[in-house]
Structure 1
Amino acid sequence: MLHVDGSSSKHGSGIGIRLTSPTGEILEQSFRLNFHASNNEAEYEALIAGIRLAQGIGVRKIRTFYDLQLVACQFNGEYEAKDGRMGSYLKVFRELVQKFDDFELTRIPRGENTSADTLAALALTSDPDLRRTIPVEFIERPSIEEVEGVRLINPPKQEPESDEVIAMDEDASTAELEYGCDKEWLGAIRVYIADGEVPTDKWEARKLKAQAARYVLVDGEVFKWRFSGPLMTCIERPEARKIMHEVHSGACGNHFSGRSLAIKIKQHGYFWRTMVKDCKKFTVEADSYASIKDAQVEHFIWKNIIYRHGVLYEIVTDNGSQFISTRFEAFCEKWKIRLSKSTPRYPQGNRQAEAANKTILDGLKKRLDAKKGRWADELEGVLWSHRTTPRRATGETPFALVYGAECVIPPRWISQVFDEDFCRDKRA
């Protein structure tokens, strides 16, 4: 289903598109028109852009909902498009519609088209440099002025001239701002502590002075005071991203949750102002569900991956039933996502690691009984037992597979233990 709406005012023109799949996935987008357009022209631009978006993702059957009577009646032949521009728009629209196997245009009340109207208002009233989850793109020329029959919504850009390279790089860097650490924030604090310079605005100066009281400058580097412990090194931009990656999934990483990741980074002596928020955004790799089936997996990938980062090239999974089901394979095939299964050589990918952890947990439960808080004291013994117990699949112990020989307790130590036990029994 496709809901579209266009809006025009003295501030400019914008259009909104909401495309809903039969399985419930929703794709929303806003466009700002970089040319003067009447309200009727903006409505036609919304229809044409929505149709092109649907064709771009391979839709063959579509129902389009619209709230403007003029366009619906012109398309059905009830009204005649006497104006030359309206006739040109109608011609382009009909040519695009013929490429669908099934197309239906339905006029609905404006109150039932609020989602598309909101998206159109977003493009119309928002800042042109706004960055949001719903991208605001631009249509440079009227659709009826295109020479070719079909134009992509985001056509490939031409190679920049040598004098344009720097400007484009700056725009690209602005578009990549995802985390608060990507914004420069240490400069003002460093200048105030070193030279006492403050902004001209009274309230901004007051805010900066209050913030700078928590920091100190040592050899040109900014550090943050702590209630206890050493000073924390203040960082920003790529360095903060690198530290999040290393602590979260590096050599000693444990895939912490957002807040736990921020606390761990502080323990390592690093700090930036938005670290808790950034760490929560960085660790969106797990979500809670009452049951994990193919429908929940599909919803998670659509919401947390495709919506945020775009369509994937490949997904590597274990052999769980929810990942090899017909529905999930059809979902990957629909979006041209390569679905790969892991091999037994990677224990974390085929539940061997989960089985080992389950064995260790069972051993701890048997030793602890009611004293649940002493698991750390018993962990070493449980691990040793696990490593020296033969596995049914191989007939060998993990210790022997690693070192090539079984673990043997020294005879002297066995004799000493036996003598102590014997004397204890005699005294008893």
Structure 2
Amino acid sequence: FVPRPAEKGQAVADFISELTPATVQPTSEAITETILPDQPGAERLDTSTPVWGLHVDGSANQQGCGAGLVLTTPDGQKIEYALRFDFRTSNNEAEYEALLAGLRLAKSMNAKQIRIHSDSQLIVNQVTADFAAKDASMYAYLSTAHQLLRSFQAYEIKQIPRGENSHADALARLASAINDKVGRKVPVEILAQPSTVTSEACAVRYEDTWMSPIYLYLTNGTLPEDKAQARKLRYRSARYTVINDVLYKRGYTTPYLKCLTAEQGEYILREIHSGVCGDHSGSRSLAYKVFRQGYFWPTMHQDANTLVKRCDKCQRFGNVPHIPAEPLTPIVSPWPFAQWGLDLIGPMPQGKGQVKYAVVAVDYFTKWVEAEPLATITAAKIEDFVWTHICCRFGIPYAIITDNGRQFDSELF
């Protein structure tokens, strides 16, 4: 006896083909189909613009639920990413979570065109509007996916066999099966709630800030009607740039500084001044700490000074200088090698020739230093040093400033 599985399978196929009606009979229950709007941005990919590749896959089993994705840059580099869900999902919902995570990652990396590959027939056909989303959960995921796809100039989604999606499938199974950190350097994000859950947002009053004219000019080219104000705004906007819809201030030797409003800046000042790690520093130090943290707004120094003055602890326990202030007396040299400062240092560890002192002279204009080691510090040694190292080399100085020590106050010197 020789089995013939091929013939048996063909017989079953012929039986189903003959007895299946040509048209599907409508069911008694009414099924509400939701028709989504036309797909935005589903144009053909432009060959002149770099195209990113995205492979996504989801996994839902008894051990857990997770998703994996592989984002391929235009130059061929692969970015691996895995997600583990703290909530139960179906396999289709896991596939959608993988797609949404991949689109968010591609959007954050400023991808303009993307080619998506998935092994889920349902997800691909729902995105291309070949299948209708009848379930409320599927409709929510589909709406979120279309909203993210609007961020790209063009996209292409294609269903591929599971064997060609093995890389993303392995990441999805890895994220769903392992609770702790993985051995490889694969980032695993813990997703606490589905991506379709929206947080409640309260409407707040919006007013124009100091950033509004600069942001509008850099993004839309909007200028004031006054020519003088427009010229001033163009000159001022050259020091700023917009990255991911956020305004940054740039400088020649400083990193990009995130621009803040006055209210946000006051919160930053309070946290640095009197927060968990606050040390109640002064206004100048406080302003520079904010600058080193990467923030900027025009009235930063004035706001820091006002905050320190309002701080109760700083006013109660701060050190109050009792010495009356007086203007500083600068010592300025009119020309090079005209004014020298002279002093002795030591005793130091004894060196060769039993020298343990040194005489040092510094020019106030050029900061040139002359020094000589000495065994003894006498007026004759100082006179010889000044004559040999200063007068004979640079000429007779206009003035020599000392601390009136015995060696400098002698008649011989």
Q: Same fold (TM over 0.5)?
A: no
The alignment's TM-score, normalised by the length of structure 1, stands at: 0.34
Indicate the structure with greater helix content. 1
The alignment's TM-score, normalised by the length of structure 2, stands at: 0.35
